[in-house]
Every structure is written in C-alpha cells, then in structure tokens.
A and B are shown apart, each in its own frame.
Chain A
Amino acid sequence: MVPPGSRPHAPDPASVTGKAPPIGEATDLLVIGAGPAGVSAALAAAGRGVPVTLVDENPIPLSAMGEEVPLHFGGRMGAVVANRNAMLEAVLEASPRLAEAVDAGIDVRLGTAAWGLFPRRLTTNWIGVHVAGLADADRAYLIGFKQVIVACGRRDMGLAFEGWERPGVMGASAAYRLAKSYGALEARTAVLLGAGTEALQIADALSEQGVRIAAIIEQAEIAGGPQKLLARLVGKGARVLTRHIIEQASGDSRGVTAVRVAPVDGLGRRTGQPLQSIECDTVLLGVGAVAAIELLEAGGCAVRFQPERGGHAPLLDGSQRTSLPYVYAAGDCAGIWPSKTLCEAVARREGAIAARAALEALGVRAEGAPEAPSTPDGPAADAALERLAWVRAAILQAPGDPQVCQCEEVTCADILSLRPPRYLGRPRAPGARESGGLAALEDVPPHPDAVKRLTRAGMGPCQGRRCREQIAALLALAAGRPLADVPLATYRPPVRPLRLDQLAGLAESAAMAQHWDSWFGMPTQWVPFWRVPPSYTVAARCTEGPEAAE
C-alpha cells in the first residue's frame, strides 16, 4: 500500500497496533486436558528439549460445578469437593500418569481452565503470537504457545423432561467425573437414560463404585450398547425398559425421588399403556456423548457434523491436525465412537500421534515408526438419528411443554413458536409475522444462533452446554431436515464463565491504557454536523479534539 521508497506512516494510534498485552508465560507445546489423550500427548513430547505445558481444569471449583460448568453435575457433588486440597489429591490419585508427567519435566497445571484459544491470524493479528487464555481459582492469564493439542474430552447431551431441572438429574459423564476423579458422587440409586456404549460403560463403572442402577430407559427398540455390559447391569438388578421415555422426574427439596416412565412407539408417541414409577435419587443423562469442541470451534478450527465421530467434531488430518495447522485434537474431543470409548488406548494413541506431528512442526524429529492414523471404525448407531429420536420422544411428544433451556427458562413451544422472552411480558398479541413461528425467519433450517437471538434459548450462564444439541434437533425436526443440515451454534470465548474481576486482572500494555477510546478515536467522526468542513483530505484533517465516542 505504501509506495516503495516512501516513508512508512505511523499506524493509527487508536487501533490495536502496538497494544499487545505482555504475555507473561510462554511454552512451545501446550496440551489442554489431562485425560488419557492429553497425558499421553504430553508424555510423548516430554524430554525432547521442547517445553511442554499440560493444563487441566480439574479440580473444578465448587462454584463452577454449581452452575453446571463444564458438565451437568446436577448438584450431586459431595461436600468434600469444597476442599480444594483434598480434590487436588483425588485428581492426582485418580490419574497416576499425571505424576509421571510431572516427573518427566512437564509443566503440569491442575485446576487451570483454558477459556480461549486466540490464534494469530489475518483478522486477529495484533497480539503477534498464538495465545491461550487460562484461569485458575485466583487469576486469569495468557500463555503464548507454538503448537497446541486440545484434549478436552466430552460432555453430555441434555434432554428435557418435566422436572429435569431438579437436583439429581445429571450428565452421565458428569457422574463419572465426580465418582472417578473426585470420589465425590452423591448418588445411591440411579436411573440411566440411554443405552448406548458410552452410557452403559459409565453405568457399569458407577455400579462398580456402589451406585445401584435401578433401570435403563431407552427410546429405541433395543439397547444399542455392548450386550456384555448390559447383561452385567441386568445381573445386578437393573431393569431394561426399551421403547420407553422419562416423562417426569418428581422429588423434594433435595432433588429427584422418582421418575415416571412412559412406553412409546417408534415415533416417540405415547402408546397409552400405563406409566411406571421408578424410585431413584439420580437420573443419568446418557442419551448422547458430545465431543467438547468449544475451545476448538471458538478458536476457529473447522468443525462439521460427522456421524461417524458422534456429532460435531473438528475436521482432522491423519495426524490429528485441525484446519488450523498448529492446533490438534485428540481423544474424545476429536470425535467419539464405541471402540474409542471402550478402549482407552485409542485416545492415548491419538495423543501420541498429535504429539509427534506437533514435535515435527517444532523441528524435533520423531523417533520410531509413525502410528497409523486413528479413524472411526464405523458407528454402532447414527448419532443424528438417535438425537432426533430422543428429542422427538422426550420433548415433542411430551404431554407438557418441557423447558429446554434451563438458564433462560425457554420451553420447547417457546422455541418452535419463536416466542419473545419472558421479560418482554406475556401474554401479548404477537405481531403478524411473529405468530408464524420459526417459519417467519424464512431460513430452513433456521440457524440456532438466530433462534437464540430472538428466544434466548442457549444464551445463559451454562453457555448452552445443556441445551444446544436439543435445540439443534428441535430445529431439524421442525424443518423436516437432517440434523447435519442445522448449523452449529457458535461458541465464543470465554468458553468457561469468568468472573469480571478475574478477567479484568489480565495484564495489559501501557499503550493500551494510554490510548483507549470507546470507538475508533477519530476526531472527525464526532464533529457536530454544523461544524463539518465541506471537503475532506488527509492533509487538512483535524486530528485534535475530544474523541470519546458516543
């Protein structure tokens, strides 16, 4: 742009140029998530002369758990989770390889959540390096990285029914996390919703820990997970009710005390046969395991609905590399399929593959023969069809109108009829178009973000983690389109809610403070129209004057 030979001009002082924050910490390889994939990635990269940093948000602060972040804990964490030191010990104990990682010289940071990946790229170029936003109990900070392996695991698809906001209704993975990593699951008798591989595996593990699985409820004709696991659970007294759906969770102030389950047909319709009541203190939502892609998606990695990877997952090459060449995904957040769920070695292998590629990108030659790429070996079931079937049976065919988005109290009917949020006062006569519901958006299927903007479904403090899959399924069903056609509601940093004073504590440059304006800092923009000169040139422009924008 600047003609050759001419003096380069000073950058716009009100722009981001020159205001990059001090990045207090830096690493070459950042690994996010210390499950099997992440630990294995970090260990594979250790000892090669490359600084490796491994972060994991566990132990998660009680306050976050109480807000169902990052998993749907359903208030079933024991009092002991308030004891941070005890929880740190529990987490270390639950994962012996973490100690190995520390011994291998890896910078291991527990209780440290990654809330944003901020790659340097064309339109976000001002920081100059790739950085990740991290936060522990006390502070938020930035760390520069060259390569990052995201191994954030999974969470649970939520499923609405009457009473699912009661304590005790929780994600299956959340229960597993509480039981396995913290030894702090407060559940005696559970009903499991869903009978796929992921659900049965967790139920099996929980029953080993003394949780009684009273019943397994599955809307499909058959329980899709491994029959061996199913038989073991049945052997311990679990009833299996296929072609059933939970219609209601009832309870008292401490939470669920029973669920009522209804028989349904292949379309999720109530058959009219009598409902059964099952006593329980916990409902495990195991209808779908969802790859925890929020960091990847918000960071700008290409993500697609890939049924063979269990839903939305990053697009990966054979070395677990995403569309951003310095970002890798490994383990469940790279996609979930039965053989990966059943055998931890798959996730570990993905971690090692990613580490090898990341090392090579850092100029470190890999040792040994490369591993074959990790590819889904065929899904046991079609994740899209299953999600649609669950949502049809539990929500669309429900006799009532379940609340799909708990944070913002948005029901199924609110979503389908595009009803303005409660704070606008109800009932009121809708405008002519508004009464047309979703169709009034003239976008088929509608974008979940468009529906969110108008109904607030998915807009709340849990950041949509409990409702987004249900909303997408509802939009697909309403439009009569495949689930994969519904765009993914965007994720945005911070992908973990951060206290204002915590986010505010990030260091910033002196230049930022020196030239901060609310909007563009351009004096000419705000000259009142009665004082505007008739023509404009750069040479004659006024550069003085108050800039604070309106």
Chain B
Amino acid sequence: MSPQGGEGAAVIVIGGGVTGLSAGWWLARDGIDVLVIEAGAIGWAASGRNGGGCSHHHSPLFLEEQRLWPMLDELLGYPTEFRPNRIRIALDERQFRLYRRALENGARQGFRTDVLDPPQIRELVPFAGEAYGGYFYHFGGHANPHRTVQAYAWALQDHGGRLLQHTPVLGFDTRGNRVAGVRTPRGAFACDQLVIAAGPATGALAAQLGVALPLMSARAEMIVTEPLALMATGAVDGNGLYGRQTLRGNLAYGGGPHEWVELQDVGARAHSTVLQASIARRLYALFPKAAHARVIRSWAGFIENTPDGRPVLDRPASLENLTIATLSSVGFGLSPAAGRAVRDLVVSGRCGFADLSTLRLGRFAGLEPGWRALQGWLPAAAGGE
C-alpha cells in the first residue's frame, strides 16, 4: 500500500534516484521507518541515464564503493549486473599520462593496476585498433543503472521501507530548528529526520529551508549501439569516453562537453543533440573494428554540480534534523557507499566508515556570490523558440 498524506515516517528521503534509494535502503535495513518520496518515477533522472561506471578513486567513499559493489547483488537480493575491473585505452601520450592518475590513486589505496602495451590491448579488446598504451585497473567496474535503481527500490521495500512515486515535494513545515514535515499534492507527511537527495533540485529545496547549497545543472549525452559479440572484459573505455559494453553486448558510451542549463528547465525532457556524432567519432577511433556496429539510440540526462564538482554530504548546522546529499554529477558508482554515509549521518550525525570532512557544505562559506558567471557556468544564450 502506498502511504497516504497525513501519515509520516521517521525518516523522509526526497528523491528516488540512486542516492535517495540507496540511503532509504540502508535505513530500512536497520529497521528504521523510511519513506522515499519521488516527484516522478524512480530512476527517471540521471540515475537511469548514466554510464554505470564505479571507479571513483579520488573520493573518500572509494574504499567503501569498492568493498560494496562485489557483494551488492547479494545484499540487495536483485541483480545489478555489476562487473569488476576496468581497462582504459589511451590513443596518445597525453591520454596515457592522464589515465595514469587512476593507477597512482589506486596504488595509494592498495589497488593494483597493470600497464598494457599495444599488443596486450589488441589481445584483451577485440574491437581495439592501434593504441598508444593502456591500463588494466584491478578495481572499479560497471553496473546496469536501470537494474540497480530497481534493485535498491525493491530491497528498500523488502525491508519495510516505503516508496511514493509521482509525488513532488513542494514545501516544508518547520518547527523551530527542525523540519517537521514535507508538503506534497498528496498531503503533508511528518518526519523526524529529512534527507534531501533530489539531484539538481537539491539546492532549491534546501534554499526553502534557508540552507544555501550552490548548484548548477547541466545536460550530458550518451549513445548506444546494437549488441555485438561480448568482449571478455566489458569495462573498456578511454579516448575521452566513459562507458561499457553491456552484458547484452551493446556499446554504451558518453563523454564530451556538457551544456549548462537553468534549474527551471530541468523539468523538461533532456534531449540529445548532434554531440552524438562526436561521441561516435571517438568511439570509432577507440574501437575501429566495431565500425559497422549501428548506433541505435542516444539519450541525455541532467545532472547537478557544486562549484568544485565534489559532493556535499552533510548535516547543515542551522537545522537539527536535515541531511543533504548531492553527488555532484558523479553519483552512480558511489551510490552504495553514499547511501550508507547518509544513513550514518541521519542516525548518528557522523559517518562511521569514511572521513567526509572534504564533502562538507561549509567549504563554500566564502564562495563569491557571482560564482556561476565567474566560472562561466551559464547556459548558451537563450533563443530559438
């Protein structure tokens, strides 16, 4: 049964993307009464439109990301299609240098990487052509975002958590320094604790509660080909692209420039553009032996970024019972760990397994008010319609 207005929950999570659903699942696992409220359908935003990559060695959540993915299917009870490891191919020396950073960051945290020479690449990656060099990272990997979103949602419900789709949170009730509940077209829902994990809308929702979270939204695109013969390792990317061969055999890749968009326009459908040709160009260079694979679809998604591009996972000091969670455009792979971190923040006020001090909101206290313009993060001049 779907919850009705007037009821409440110990914890309300706004946002049915991977961050909110994972947080809800972790909370429900602990027997906490949690309600995830989603404006549309779960995973309809970035969480269902991403590359599925799980290799975020720069993040304080990296170790937990790497620990959780291999056991996630079992923990959730549903398949995520996670596959470990990642090969990255450099077509020139510059790329080779760039991709070395993952080797270094991984090594510092105890993970192995093999450097690949062109013959090894040809052997490991049947679609590859002449490469400069590459890496085999014995960490990271990829999963199927659609299946992962649904797995979180079902696992959350299996543990007694509740999910309400097609219900936008429009406003809040506050009492003193506390959020007392949320308002929706289906009525008000009271809560003891509130989590805002609403993707691009996280900033606007927090602002309603007097919390300034600087965010800007952007549009990014991907393409997918028809299914091809499976490569032994599907997690092959590089040449400026991220992506994977799906377990069905499709090549699903993205990359390249993003388009900054105003938050009020994020509600509309995210359309892909002719950028798909530039993605195809780089995919063709990466996999010349897949020249004849037909591109059958493209898509786009909206994601938010903080001014430094890093997540905010924090409990703002001005309110006693609010947790905010934006993964700043890199949130799919980190979601198992981010959800656990949110659970910790909600339950005990601090993360018990990682140092989140670099993800605090307070780092933006001195941010220039005109930061968006200063960084050039503005939509291309309006017009056309």
A binds B: yes
Interface residue ranges, A against B (CB under 8 Å): 1-3, 8-17, 19, 21, 67, 116, 118-128, 130-131, 133, 140, 142, 298-300, 324-325, 408, 420-421, 423-424, 431-434, 440, 442-443, 447, 450, 453-454, 456, 460-461, 463, 490, 492-494, 497-501, 503-506, 508, 512, 515-522, 524-530, 532, 534-539, 541, 546-550
Interface residue from A431, A498, A536 paired with B154 (Cβ < 8 Å): A431
Once A500-B295, A519-B255, A526-B58 are accepted as A-B contacts, the answer to whether A126 and B380 lie under 8 Å apart by CB is yes
Interface residue from A12, A442, A443, A450 paired with B260 (Cβ < 8 Å): A12
- Residue of A at shortest CB range from B374? A538
**C-alpha spacing A522/B329, complex, angstroms:** 11
Main secondary structure of the interface of A (DSSP, over half): loop
Quote the shortest CB–CB distance from B300 to chain A (angstroms).
8
Contacts of B255 on A, CB cut-off 8 Å?
516-519
Contacts of A526 on B, CB cut-off 8 Å?
58, 101, 309
**C-alpha spacing A350/B234, complex, angstroms:** 50
**C-alpha spacing A515/B256, complex, angstroms:** 8
Once A13-B376, A492-B299, A499-B293 are accepted as A-B contacts, the answer to whether A456 and B248 lie under 8 Å apart by CB is yes
* 0 or 1 for each of B289-302: is its CB under 8 Å from A? (1 = yes): 01111111111001
Q: Tell me if A515 and B379 are in contact (CB < 8 A).
A: no
- Residue of B at shortest CB range from A492? B297
Given contacts A122-B384, A499-B294, A547-B98, 20 further A-B contacts (CB under 8 A): A123-B219, A123-B266, A127-B273, A133-B277, A424-B247, A442-B163, A443-B165, A453-B147, A460-B296, A497-B226, A500-B292, A501-B292, A506-B281, A508-B277, A532-B358, A537-B366, A537-B367, A548-B240, A549-B242, A550-B55
- Residue of B at shortest CB range from A436? B154
Q: Is B30 an interface residue (CB 8 A)?
A: no
Contacts of A521 on B, CB cut-off 8 Å?
257
Contacts of A535 on B, CB cut-off 8 Å?
362-366
- Residue of B at shortest CB range from A497? B294
**C-alpha spacing A517/B279, complex, angstroms:** 11
Contacts of B119 on A, CB cut-off 8 Å?
none
Once A423-B247, A504-B280, A549-B242 are accepted as A-B contacts, the answer to whether A15 and B373 lie under 8 Å apart by CB is no
* 0 or 1 for each of B331-371: is its CB under 8 Å from A? (1 = yes): 00000000000000000000000010010001111111011
Contacts of B151 on A, CB cut-off 8 Å?
431
Q: Is B328 an interface residue (CB 8 A)?
A: yes
Once A9-B376, A525-B308 are accepted as A-B contacts, the answer to whether A461 and B294 lie under 8 Å apart by CB is yes
Q: Tell me if B290 and A123 are in contact (CB < 8 A).
A: no
Q: Tell me if B276 and A14 are in contact (CB < 8 A).
A: no
* 0 or 1 for each of B89-111: is its CB under 8 Å from A? (1 = yes): 00000010111011001001000
Which 5 A/B pairs are nearest by Cβ-Cβ distance?
A: A525-B309, A120-B384, A506-B277, A453-B146, A433-B154
Q: Tell me if A423 and B248 are in contact (CB < 8 A).
A: yes
- Residue of A at shortest CB range from B73? A431
Interface residue from A125, A424, A530 paired with B81 (Cβ < 8 Å): A424
**C-alpha spacing A538/B367, complex, angstroms:** 7
Q: Tell me if B272 and A519 are in contact (CB < 8 A).
A: no
Contacts of A10 on B, CB cut-off 8 Å?
376
Once A504-B280, A546-B97 are accepted as A-B contacts, the answer to whether A120 and B78 lie under 8 Å apart by CB is no
Quote the shortest CB–CB distance from A460 to chain B (angstroms).
7
Q: Tell me if B373 and A9 are in contact (CB < 8 A).
A: yes
Interface residue from A442, A499, A547 paired with B292 (Cβ < 8 Å): A499
Q: Tell me if B248 and A501 are in contact (CB < 8 A).
A: no
**C-alpha spacing A518/B282, complex, angstroms:** 11
Q: Tell me if B370 and A1 are in contact (CB < 8 A).
A: yes
**C-alpha spacing A497/B53, complex, angstroms:** 25
Once A10-B376, A525-B328 are accepted as A-B contacts, the answer to whether A21 and B274 lie under 8 Å apart by CB is yes
Q: Is B77 an interface residue (CB 8 A)?
A: yes
Contacts of B282 on A, CB cut-off 8 Å?
516
- Residue of B at shortest CB range from A129? B384
Quote the shortest CB–CB distance from B313 to chain A (angstroms).
12
Q: Is B383 an interface residue (CB 8 A)?
A: yes
Q: Tell me if B367 and A125 are in contact (CB < 8 A).
A: no
Interface CB pairs A-B, < 8 A, 22: A12-B378, A21-B277, A122-B268, A123-B219, A124-B273, A131-B274, A133-B277, A431-B77, A442-B163, A443-B165, A447-B41, A503-B276, A508-B281, A518-B242, A519-B242, A520-B258, A524-B308, A525-B305, A538-B371, A548-B98, A548-B101, A550-B330
Q: Is B381 an interface residue (CB 8 A)?
A: yes
- Residue of B at shortest CB range from A64? B294
Contacts of A548 on B, CB cut-off 8 Å?
95, 98-99, 101, 240
Q: Tell me if B291 and A500 are in contact (CB < 8 A).
A: yes
Contacts of A16 on B, CB cut-off 8 Å?
257-259, 273, 275, 380
Interface residue from A15, A501, A529 paired with B284 (Cβ < 8 Å): A501
Q: Tell me if A119 and B384 are in contact (CB < 8 A).
A: yes
Contacts of A546 on B, CB cut-off 8 Å?
97-98, 101
Contacts of A529 on B, CB cut-off 8 Å?
58-60, 355, 358
Q: Tell me if B308 and A15 are in contact (CB < 8 A).
A: no
**C-alpha spacing A160/B257, complex, angstroms:** 42
**C-alpha spacing A420/B375, complex, angstroms:** 44
Once A11-B376, A504-B277, A504-B283 are accepted as A-B contacts, the answer to whether A538 and B363 lie under 8 Å apart by CB is no
**C-alpha spacing A508/B260, complex, angstroms:** 20
Once A122-B265, A421-B248, A443-B165 are accepted as A-B contacts, the answer to whether A434 and B363 lie under 8 Å apart by CB is no
Q: Tell me if A122 and B226 are in contact (CB < 8 A).
A: no
Interface residue from B76, B256, B274, B380 paired with A142 (Cβ < 8 Å): B274
Q: Tell me if B385 and A324 are in contact (CB < 8 A).
A: yes
Q: Is B232 an interface residue (CB 8 A)?
A: no
**C-alpha spacing A256/B255, complex, angstroms:** 46
Interface residue from A130, A133, A497 paired with B384 (Cβ < 8 Å): A130
Contacts of A300 on B, CB cut-off 8 Å?
269, 271
**C-alpha spacing A33/B330, complex, angstroms:** 42
Contacts of A512 on B, CB cut-off 8 Å?
256-257, 278
Interface of chain B residues 1 through 50 with chain A (CB within 8 A): 2, 41, 43, 48
Q: Is B372 an interface residue (CB 8 A)?
A: yes
Q: Tell me if A124 and B259 are in contact (CB < 8 A).
A: yes
Q: Is B157 an interface residue (CB 8 A)?
A: yes
- Residue of A at shortest CB range from B372? A1
Quote the shortest CB–CB distance from A4 to chain B (angstroms).
12
Interface residue from B146, B298, B367 paired with A494 (Cβ < 8 Å): B298
Quote the shortest CB–CB distance from A412 to chain B (angstroms).
20
- Residue of B at shortest CB range from A498? B295
**C-alpha spacing A14/B308, complex, angstroms:** 14
- Residue of B at shortest CB range from A487? B41
Q: Tell me if A550 and B57 are in contact (CB < 8 A).
A: yes
Contacts of A432 on B, CB cut-off 8 Å?
77, 154, 158
Quote the shortest CB–CB distance from A217 to chain B (angstroms).
32
Q: Is B83 an interface residue (CB 8 A)?
A: no
Interface of chain B residues 132 through 185 with chain A (CB within 8 A): 140, 146-147, 150-151, 154, 157-158, 163, 165-166
Quote the shortest CB–CB distance from B29 to chain A (angstroms).
14
Q: Is B261 an interface residue (CB 8 A)?
A: yes
Interface residue from B58, B157, B290, B384 paired with A500 (Cβ < 8 Å): B290
Once A15-B376, A123-B219, A520-B329 are accepted as A-B contacts, the answer to whether A538 and B242 lie under 8 Å apart by CB is no
Interface residue from B218, B220, B257 paired with A516 (Cβ < 8 Å): B257
Quote the shortest CB–CB distance from A276 to chain B (angstroms).
39
